[in-house]
């Protein structure tokens, strides 16, 4: 098991990573999800031994890796730019790590064949790297990383250069391979669809800290963070002020731009506190009135932008929301939608 303990790192005299801690269990795939510049790739390079933290520890099976050089850590890396050797054919690219470990030649050939079969590239061993598509090259890069049976696999934005359809297909293949091999993995991306498809656990990185750690369904149902909710496009985030603490435990009354709301809340607030609320469409919950301002087609539904919103029975306010509907309403039309309200902070 990999343990990351209290990692600190600065970049250009500014904090980049601030006390990062997490673990990766055997057979588990975690995803580090965050915007560009959030420190995801730097953290991955430090785990690989290519960069060093200013403080903190990396341990594998309770052994500190500080004195272990990169080539002895026995970790596999897969990058966005593939990192293949253009002067070598597919066989030699996949065999490279095995040869570096002085694996006997008679053992290399069946291992390469096994890896080619695993990534659905059987009979590709004599082809040139330059003759392959982007998706095929990335599968070769995965086969090369898997060939030496690494203790840990790390992926740094591996599908960023591929088109959407190819990305979805390869992502499912990587997920299946990770489940089959049971190798623990860390997958770095800024793409939420990739994160939710491949991860057993998602770690949301923002401003140098992990602000949410949970399974995909836990993160989606309870983002617990304004930044996570906004980046994942979970709904509408609006601001409000606590009017009173309800007698019922875990309930507060909040004044917001769409009216006064009774909100479930697990935080310790006081009357007068400013709070951030996540508004999500739900079959249950309070009904609001919306005035349609714009309608955009969004695959199998319509994204409706509103210029104003109000709770049923209250005056229409100045605020606006974005909702989704199966049938397109008319601009200027007033519609009614039921929403669930969650206090984020």
Which residues lie below 8 Å from residue 102, measured CB to CB, with a gap of 6+?
none
Give the CATH number, domain containing residue 134: 3.40.50.300
Shared domain for 62 and 151, answered yes or no, is yes
- The pTM is what? 0.84
- 175 & 189 share domain: yes
Distance CA 308, CA 174 (A): 44
One domain, residues 210 and 246: no
Cα distance between residue 90 and residue 278, in whole Å: 50
- One-character DSSP codes across 161-184: TS-HHHHHHHHHHHHHHHHHH---
In this structure, are 158 and 33 located in the same domain? Answer: yes
For residues 169 and 266, state if they share a domain.
no
Q: Judge if 122 and 219 occupy the same domain.
A: yes
Residue 305 contacts residue 323 (beta carbons within 8 Å): no
Q: Which residues contact 158 (CB under 8 A, 6 or more apart)?
A: 78, 79, 80, 138, 141, 142, 174, 187
Alpha helices, H only, 49-161: 90-100, 105-118, 134-146
Residues 30 and 172 in one domain: yes
Residue 331: which domain range?
Answer: 235-343
Q: What is the pLDDT of residues 253-280, one digit of tens each?
A: 888 877 788 887 878 888 888 998 888 8
Per-residue pLDDT of the chain (345 residues; tens, 9 = 90+): 899 999 999 988 888 999 999 999 999 999 999 988 888 999 999 999 999 999 999 999 999 999 899 988 999 988 877 788 999 999 999 999 999 889 999 999 999 999 999 898 999 999 999 899 888 998 899 999 999 999 999 999 888 777 777 888 888 888 998 998 899 999 999 988 899 999 999 999 998 999 999 999 999 988 888 888 888 887 788 888 998 887 666 788 888 877 788 887 878 888 888 998 888 888 777 788 888 888 888 777 777 777 655 555 444 444 567 888 888 888 888 888 888 888 887
Residue 247: predicted pLDDT: 62
Q: Which of 229, 253, 275 is the last residue of a domain?
A: 229
337, 323 Cβ separation under 8 angstroms: yes
User: Quick one: 162 and 52 in the same domain?
Assistant: yes
- Residue 122 gets which letter from DSSP? T
pLDDT of residue 38: 87
Residues 164 and 287 in one domain: no
What are the strands, taking DSSP E only, across the chain? 2-11, 14-24, 29-33, 55-60, 63-64, 75-79, 152-156, 185-189, 201-206, 209-214, 236-245, 251-256, 259-264, 274-298, 301-311, 322-325, 334-343
The number of distinct structural domains making up the chain is 2
Q: Which of 212, 229, 246 is the last residue of a domain?
A: 229
Q: What is the pLDDT of residue 199?
A: 95
If asked whether residues 53 and 197 sit together in one domain, one would say yes
Clarify whether residues 184 and 310 are in a common domain. Answer: no
Residues 162 and 62 in one domain: yes
Domain-ending residue, one of 167, 202, 229 = 229
């Amino acid at each position: 098991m990999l343990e990351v303990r209290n990692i600190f790192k600065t970049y250009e005299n500014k904090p980049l990573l601030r006390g990062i801690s997490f673990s990766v269990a055997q057979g588990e795939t975690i995803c580090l999800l965050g915007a560009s510049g959030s420190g995801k790739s730097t953290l991955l390079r430090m785990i690989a031994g290519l960069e060093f933290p200013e403080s903190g520890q990396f341990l594998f099976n309770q052994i500190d890796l500080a004195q272990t050089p990169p080539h002895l850590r026995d970790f596999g890396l897969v990058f966005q730019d593939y990192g293949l050797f253009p002067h070598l054919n597919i066989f030699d690219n996949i065999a490279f790590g095995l040869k570096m470990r002085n694996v006997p030649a008679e053992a290399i050939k069946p291992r390469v064949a096994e890896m080619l079969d695993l990534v659905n590239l059987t009979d590709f061993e004599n082809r040139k790297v330059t003759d392959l598509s982007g998706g095929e090259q990335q599968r070769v890069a995965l086969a090369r990383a898997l060939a030496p049976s690494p203790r840990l696999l790390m992926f740094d934005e591996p599908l960023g250069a591929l088109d959407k359809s190819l990305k979805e297909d390869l992502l499912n293949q990587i997920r299946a391979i990770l489940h089959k091999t049971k190798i623990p993995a860390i997958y770095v991306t800024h793409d939420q669809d990739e994160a939710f498809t491949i991860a057993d656990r998602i770690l949301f990185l923002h401003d140098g800290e992990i602000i949410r750690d949970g399974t995909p369904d836990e993160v989606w149902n309870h983002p617990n963070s304004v930044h996570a909710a906004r980046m994942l496009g979970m709904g509408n985030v609006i601001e409000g002020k606590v009017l009173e603490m309800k007698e019922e435990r875990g309930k507060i009354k909040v004044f917001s731009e769409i009216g006064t709301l009774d909100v479930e809340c697990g935080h310790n607030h006081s009357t007068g506190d400013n709070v951030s609320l996540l508004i999500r469409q739900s079959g249950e919950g309070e009904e609001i009135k919306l005035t349609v301002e714009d309608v955009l087609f969004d695959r199998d539904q319509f994204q409706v932008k509103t210029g104003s919103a109000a709770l049923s029975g209250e005056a229409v306010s100045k605020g606006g929301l974005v909702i989704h509907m199966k049938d397109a309403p008319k601009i200027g039309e007033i519609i009614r939608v039921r929403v669930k309200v969650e206090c984020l902070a």
